Chain A
Amino acid sequence: MKKYLPIIKDAAVLMLVSTMFVTLCNMFFKSLKKTVDADPVVTAMLQNNIAAARELLGDKGLAGSGTRYPSLEAYQRARLELPDDFGRTPLMWTAYANISGEERMKKTDAERAPFAELFIKAGAGLDTRDKDGWTALMWASWSGLTSVAGKLADAGASLTLSDRQGNTALMLAAMRGNAGIVQLLMDKKIDCSAADKQGKKAADLAREGLASYPDKKQSYDKILELLGT
């Protein structure tokens, strides 16, 4: 054992130096940029763990938050309005997915819908906007999460809000070739003549999409048909 002592001593010195170094780095870089911690409710949603999300929004979550909130409802509403670094709420995260495979997209949509329902019931702000002016419906429209978009629209989310660039949910869905969402919005008798800051309407964006993504011709053709062009 004695022969190992110098090695153990060296290893301890290296560990101590490393730990001090990491601690200093952590202090320095944390002071350089303030970031919001990831939201456990969002993590639970990403893992499709609805029980954990319910728990975090339930009495246990309220107990863990101290005595700041007069009721569970107040806690839930406030909890679901907590923004990340870019102003996104858990409901917006639920409405976001960036998936190329159609099957995977359908599966994700089906998995996310109960979360959207849970958050909406718990009082999440339907028309809360992130830093670029996007609402949860805009995120769902861009992502192609049709069931989530349906839940939001049915719950009363505004269909006509636009972001800093003048994009509406309809334009984002048309741009991405998400025919299901365009159909959903058109069924709600939405005005499709709105234009973005560059003067482009949903139909123009769908045409551009068709030119760039000819593999999604069927979807874009359907969108153009729905938009009446």
Chain B
Amino acid sequence: MDAVIDYDVTRIKQDFPILNQQVHGHPLAYLDNAATTQKPNCVLKAIDYYYQHDNSNVHRGVHALSERATKSYEAARHKVQEFVNAKHVEEIIFVRGTTEAINLVANSYGRSNLNAGDSVLISTLEHHSNIIPWQMVCEQTGASLKVIPINDAGEINLEAFEKLLTDEVKILAVGHASNAIGTVNPIKFMINKAHEKNIPVLIDGAQAAPHIAIDVQDLDCDFYALSGHKMYGPTGIGILYGKKALLETMLPYQGGGEMISRVTFEKSTYNKIPHKFEAGTPNIAGAIGLHAAIDYLQSVGLDNIAEHEHELLIYATEAMSSIPELRIIGTAKEKIGVVSFILGDIHAHDVGTILDHHGVAIRAGHHCAMPLMDRFEVPATVRASFGLYNTREEIDRLVDALNDVRRMFA
């Protein structure tokens, strides 16, 4: 692939003040974007501006500040609607993050629709946040959890998937992209197949959102979950998209202020969507920060970002393949910018500590995907994950540092 000529990574980097620092005497090379991304100035400023000028509670005050806070909060909802191309703005529910979004669906939709004998279908690639909520609801309802196997490249086995898609399956919950090894799943195909059997589908989009343009109407998924902090927004804010017709039939997940329309001690009636699912004072500043993050992503252009990161992935995969005894875990044809690997018999944590002393920040461990580590029979991997501000030079430094690790353990 040709390099993106007009992609000015130097200028982009300047938008992220945190990246301009030394770690252990070296310039920081932040390659841990699958864990969380850094925040551009515009996000920091939006949050700061809100607390300096508009801070107030939403949807209840009659005063000017509350009106401004409400307006900004709801504008963020409209921005997210546009970002994922949802049909209706009330299909966008603000949550704490992907984890809470999945717990909401598992508890609300799952508990009402799962019975003994039913099953929930997930894949081997899932993050713990798309495993445990379903395990918990299965324990409560007597339903069972079924798991789609993957091949040695880390791709979903589609034949096995179709066989597992039986009438007992009441929901399919699968990641758009794997946090641990980078695989992008053929979710549109999987959603189609599930819908042929009237099985609703939840997509865990935490890793996909900052890298792949999302169109929930085109995908036709029933739920889509994402986290603000993985897409250059603040922590503590995320999104659950759900189809209106489904959300309207679902019971609230939490009770409290905001989610009711009338309360007596005998009975309460619930508010309309999305407010039915937003009990308590929400993360207003978080939503405003997320709005700014989406503006930022759109100003750089998601297609440009995808191309830049793909180029980094190809470059890194090639450069790292030249390191003796380095084995890349996850070699799917379709990947986001994630390279997970092991280095001979040197443990991932030793590699991580040494890389840190070269100013290279990566993740070492099981990446909250222990069953996936078991599948590849490794206790842990080292993971470099790329974002829109990373450069080839940073990958060169990663490779140099890895060679240093090998020398140290020789």
A, B in one complex = no
Taking beta carbons and an 8 Å cutoff, which residues of B are in contact with A?
A: none
